Structure 1
Amino acid sequence: MDEKPSARRGPDICSLRYGLAVVMHLSNLSMITQRVSLSIAIIAMVNGTQQPAPANASADGPLQDPSGPIGEFHAGTSVYAWSPETQGILFSSISYGILLTLIPSGYLAGIFGAKHMLGAGLLGSSLLSLCTPLAADLGVSLVMVIRVAQGMAQGMAWTGQFTIWAKWAPPLERSKLTSIAGSGAALGSSLILCVGGLISQALGWPFIFYIFGGGNGRGRCLRLVQEGAVLRCLQRVTDGRRYWREPTSPRRSVPLKAMARCLPLWAIFSGFFSHFWLCTVIVTYLPTYISSVLHVSIRESGVLSALPFVAASTCTVLGGQLADFLLSRDLLRLLTVRKLFSALGLLLPSLCAVALPFVASSYVTTVVLLILIPGTSNLCDSGFIINTLDIAPRYASFLMGISRGFGLLAGIISSTATGFLISQDSASGWRHVFFLAAAVNLFGLVFYLTFGRAELQDWAKERPLTRL
């Protein structure tokens, strides 16, 4: 006999997966606002309109002028004598922290689950953001320690997400789901850069850390509840409608030797290194570049700095939709799609970066190129960024930790190198920064196009246990 359809229909699995992507989107938005807070606040923290520091003044302590307004910034806020080299080290400090926790947190997330690691990372990052203004008054060394600890918290949260996608993202929806989640970082960057200058002018730069640290901490509980509900419903739907893969033993060994010999894996690592090199320069130094080259106020600098990340968020989502469309219609092979979007995401921003120093006199052209760099760069999200899900889904979280480790290593080097180069000479320094970033991008692109693959690797295969 034909069974009658049930009157009560369960939750739609597709909508639940997209609901989970939105939760991840908000989590990424929270973390990036806390990470980029220093990039916009530092314009006021080391305001160039201040008098030079006395010869015997310490670079660790604040220079306060409570008697009058500080240029265009809020009166009574501290100003610090931090050199460009010191600023570069501060910017890269958070990458050191993320680098310390990416690999172990990726492995542990695969064992214990991602929800608790994601929540703990968000809470820790929020609390440390609230402590940053006090740490700045106590000394630049303490700010570095705070940033490293904040990076460790964010490293736990970043990698925890990939464990979820390794289990719940179908092959033909991976680009869509991960691009929706990843676009939160670009949208968060645009948000903090847009309103950060206004907050600094109206309330003082410490409130940038207070607002985004405190607000994101309060929103953490809601996101955890939402994520838990989505995962429970998603498991119930898959248990009732289709085969569901049981998790393998949490104490399975990781084939490190096979991974080390795998050229397709090294191609992904090289892509991450190249991509994060230029992205870190843009995310970290964009407000400084706009303020120093275009000579605009902090309010205009914040708004202009936000525009590239609005474009980046849009391109991330559209790129994911286009990639999955090409795959679902069998227009291109999976490997072709991954290499195509990787090439676009590495080559196009390189060309824009090389052109920037030659159009510095044109306000409009400079702004257009600055918008195109993050926008086109985020096309990589449908390329090598999610390639580990193709070649080794079993170890996706662990490998994402290693991949981001290579990216963060590039971020550390590029932030420090940028601070050093622009301290020598501002005009030629920026030119060298962008030329170097383009060269690194081209190297990563050639390596990935040569050795990149999209088929499941032998060392990543397993026999799934299934049930109806």
Structure 2
Amino acid sequence: MELSGPSRSPTEKTAIKSQLSFNQDLPEIPEGTSSKWHFSIPRRYVVAIMAFLGFCNVYSLRVNLSVAIVAMTSNYSYTENGTEQFKQDYPWSSEVQGLVLSSFFFGYIVTQIPGGWYATQIGGKKLFGIGVGVTALVSLLTPALASTNLYLLVLGRVVEGLFEGVTYPSIHAVWSHWAPPLERSRLATIAFSGSYFGTVISLPLSGMLAEYVGWPYIFYLFGILALIWCALWWYMVAETPQADRRITDAELEYIRSSIGPSANHIKVNVEPPWKRFLTSLPVWAIMIAHFSENWGFYTLLTELPTFMKDVLKFDLKDAGLLAALPYLVMGVTVQSGGFLADWLRSQGNLTTTQVRKLCNCGAFVCQTLFLLAVAHSTTPSAVVASLTAAVGFGGFAWAGFSVNHLDIAPQFASILMGLSNTVATLPGIFSPLLTGHLVQDKTPEEWQAVFYIAGGVYLAGALFYGLFASGERQKWADIPDSYALCRDDQSYASTEDMPYGTGSCE
């Protein structure tokens, strides 16, 4: 078969072959490339860019209320009969505000695992688009819900959480079809980094909208932008490479040959092995690492402003760029970590397991050290510098645990992401409660205990992941040869979603 496309070194081809769990030879891809391939972005990177923008919208829709609620509950002046008066749109107590802000997570934690399973039934592309689209519609309705009834607003936030909860699991269902083994890290982390860039953009923009045109326009703007993205996602992204009318023959054949049956879009009638999920040490390694990273991340970014105000008498909200700097650094390092992981794997000197452990455990150890630096810093600049470094190293951990689901069980990656993200949501609930219990008198020693615990969680996560993580497909995730593409026995498989492209078995 004559194909045009990017060349692959013997090391890379060997690495790709090691990912295949069925009898298939990796085709030779000549040096030359077609003009269409050379002058256009590969379709798998179009998917990554669109997923990046999708996660920008996901986090913009999630965090916009944290800015809007300040304007919704603040006093403002107006003149009535020549007299200056003051009022609030919503005179909510701090407890009510906490309920409104936390209600999102009541829905978010519920749909992680069901979302992962449902993505294997209807497709990750569809579910990801539906998740963002419904959240956008509810965002547009938020001002009306708030003006009607407080409990309708809370219900709306729960619904937003329910539909955003499917986004992380469903994107792994997309990558199980689109991401070649040696590009999994970079493609997945390009997408995930959008959440941090979305936060950096949405926080200051929400503040400007609230000040100059009114807080309702925060929800209108981000809701409309998300709906525009949904239309583009539906138009530009196909569920599978075979269904993409714009993909080149070379890219289609490369994806199909490197991934195997998952990329060939066989609809395999295999029930998720739930018992195997829960008894697999590599799965537990991913879940514990995800939990550890989020515990430290939530501790740093939710409790740090209070720590700096209590101990250093410094209001981080007045720092402007400094408040957004950790998110910006995290977005950059998440992408950098993905590219580094794929480069290390492509060199052939380290196995996938070794690369995942290096990225994850190395990041956790560095984060622990900088957390200790935060605990013992005495100036605001030192705290922000240590915080930025600690958060930044977390980006490299995402090139470990967050992609690992695709290594050990690509066809069940969306379900495994749902499992790990369910566990990883718990720190957002329990970390603030523990901090509130420990910090009674607001002394430096009490805050040091908070950071010591977070450092301990990081080290425990690094130890467990280092001992039990794996980058190899697990035996319970093997696809039998009878399910492979283009065998004589097709009774277990369907190729009905392969209408486009000329990459075939002949």
Give me the TM-score of the superposition, normalised by structure 2. 0.77
Cα pair 2:42 2:251 within 8 Å, conserved: no
Residue 398 of structure 1: which of 396, 403, 415 is its match? 415
Q: Percent of pairs identical after alignment?
A: 32
Instruction: Report which stretch shifted further, 216-225 or 115-124.
Output: 216-225
Aligned 1:127-142 pairs, distance under 5 A: 127-137=137-147, 141-142=151-152
Residues 302 and 128 from structure 1, CA distance in 2 versus in 1: closer, same or farther, beyond 3 angstroms?
farther
> In the alignment, is residue 187 of structure 1 matched against residue 211 of structure 2?
no
Alignment of 1:384-395 (within 5 A): 384-395=401-412
* Residues 76 and 7 of structure 1, relative CA distance in 2, 3 Å threshold: same
Q: Which amino acid aligns with 1:129?
A: S
Q: Runs of 5+ in structure 1 lacking a partner?
A: 48-63, 69-74
Which residue is equivalent to 1:19? 46
Gaps spanning 5+ residues in structure 2: where?
A: 5-29, 80-85, 487-504
- Per-residue Cα deviation, 1:239-272 (whole angstroms, up to 9, x for no partner): 5666462444454212122222211111111111
Structure 2 CA distance for partners of 1:274 and 1:92, relative to 1, 3 Å: farther
Is 2:286 the partner of 1:259? no
Q: Are 1:370 and 2:387 an aligned pair?
A: yes
2:65 corresponding residue in structure 1: 38
CA change 1:375–1:395 in 2 (3 A) is same
**Per the alignment, in what secondary structure is the counterpart of residue 330 of structure 1?**
coil
Q: How far off is 1:443 after superposition? A: 1.9
Residue 67 (str. 1) matches residue 78 (str. 2): yes
SS of 1:185's equivalent? helix
Measured at CA, do residues 392 and 248 of structure 1 come closer, stay the same or move farther in structure 2, by a change above 3 Å?
same
List aligned pairs for 1:435-454, cutoff 5 A.
435-454=452-471
Query: What secondary structure is seen at the aligned counterpart in 2 of 1:100?
Result: coil
Q: Contact (CA 8 Å) 2:67, 2:203: kept in 1 or not?
A: yes
Larger radius of gyration: 2
Residue number in structure 2 paired with 1:159: 169
Residue in structure 1 matching 2:89, options 74, 78, 96: 78
- How far did 1:461 drift? 0.6
SS at match of 1:456: coil
Partner SS for 2:42: helix
Which residue of the other structure, out of 23, 29, 32, is the alignment partner of 2:56? 29
Which one-letter code corresponds to 2:372 in the other structure?
A: V
RMSD between superposed Cα atoms in Å: 3.3
- 1:357 positional shift: 3.9
CA positional deviation for 1:115: 2.1
Query: What's the secondary structure of 1:67's corresponding residue?
Result: strand
Distance 1:205 1:307 in 2: 24
Deviation at 1:87, TM superposition (A): 5.2
State whether structure 2 residue 291 is matched by structure 1 residue 273: yes
Shift of 1:325: 0.9
Pick one of 345, 348, 353 that aligns with 2:366: 348
Aligned residue for 2:270, secondary structure, equals coil
Question: Are 2:216 and 1:171 aligned?
Answer: no
The CA deviation at 1:390 is 1.1
Does structure 2 retain, via aligned residues, the 8 Å contact 1:40–1:196?
yes
Moved more, 97-106 or 433-442: 433-442
Matches within 5 A, 1:53-452: 65-67=76-78, 78=89, 80-83=91-94, 89-137=99-147, 141-228=151-238, 231=241, 232=244, 233-234=246-247, 243=257, 245=261, 246-249=264-267, 251-284=269-302, 295-296=314-315, 298=317, 300-359=318-377, 361-418=378-435, 424-426=440-442, 430-452=447-469
Does residue 466 of structure 1 match 2:485?
A: yes
- The alpha-carbon deviation at position 95 of structure 1 amounts to 2.5
Residues 282-318 of structure 1: CA distance to partner in whole angstroms, max 9, x if unpaired?
A: 45556666777664485x4443222111111111111
Give deviations 1:102-130, integer Å, cap 9, x for gaps: 11111111121122211111111112223
Amino acid at match of 2:478: K
Deviations 1:68-122 (A, max 9, x none): 8xxxxxx976354433x65555444323312211111111111211222111111
Cα distance in 2 between the residues matched to 1:42 and 1:294: 24
**Structure 1 pair 289–117 and aligned structure 2 pair: CA distance change class (3 A):** farther
Q: Using a 3 Å threshold, how does the CA distance of structure 1 residues 345 and 25 change in structure 2: closer, same or farther?
A: same
Query: Once structures 1 and 2 are overlaid, which stretch shifts more, 254-263 or 202-211?
Result: 202-211
Helix, strand or coil: the match of 1:375?
A: helix
The alpha carbon displacement at 1:140 in A equals: 5.3
* Distance change >3 Å, CA 441–CA 374, structure 1 → 2: same
Q: CA deviation at 1:237?
A: 5.2
Q: Is the 8 A contact 1:194 1:303 kept in 2?
A: no
* 1:150-201 superposed Cα distances (whole Å, 9 cap, x missing partner): 1111112222111111122111111111111111111111112233333333
**How many Å apart are 1:23 and its aligned residue?**
0.7
Q: Is the 8 A contact 1:43 1:288 kept in 2?
A: no
**1:10–1:237 contact (8 Å) kept in structure 2:** no
* Alpha-carbon distance in 2 for matches of 1:92, 1:220: 26
Contact 2:55-2:192 at 8 Å conserved across structures: yes
Counterpart AA for 1:304: L
SS for the counterpart of 2:164 is: helix
Whether contact under 8 Å (1:92, 1:416) holds in the other structure is no
Shift of 1:46: 5.5
Aligned residues: 442
Aligned CA distance change for structure 1 residues 224 and 249 (closer, same or farther; 3 Å): closer
Q: Residues 372, 3 of structure 1: CA spacing in aligned structure 2 closer, same or farther, 3 A cutoff?
A: closer
More helix as a share of residues:
1
- SS of 1:455's equivalent? coil
Q: Distance in 1 between matches of 2:200 and 2:339?
A: 22
Whole-Å separation in 2 of the counterparts to 1:318 and 1:193: 23
Task: Work out the CA distance in 2 between the residues paired with 1:139 and 1:302.
Answer: 33
Distance in 2 separating the partners of 1:172 and 1:7:
20
One-letter code aligned to 2:429: I
Q: 2:100 & 2:462 partners in 1: Cα distance?
A: 29
1:71 corresponds in structure 2 to: none
Distance 1:143 1:304, change over 3 A: farther
Instruction: Assess, with a 3 A threshold, how the Cα gap between structure 1 residues 66 and 319 changes in structure 2: closer, same or farther.
Output: same
Aligned partner letter, 1:219: W
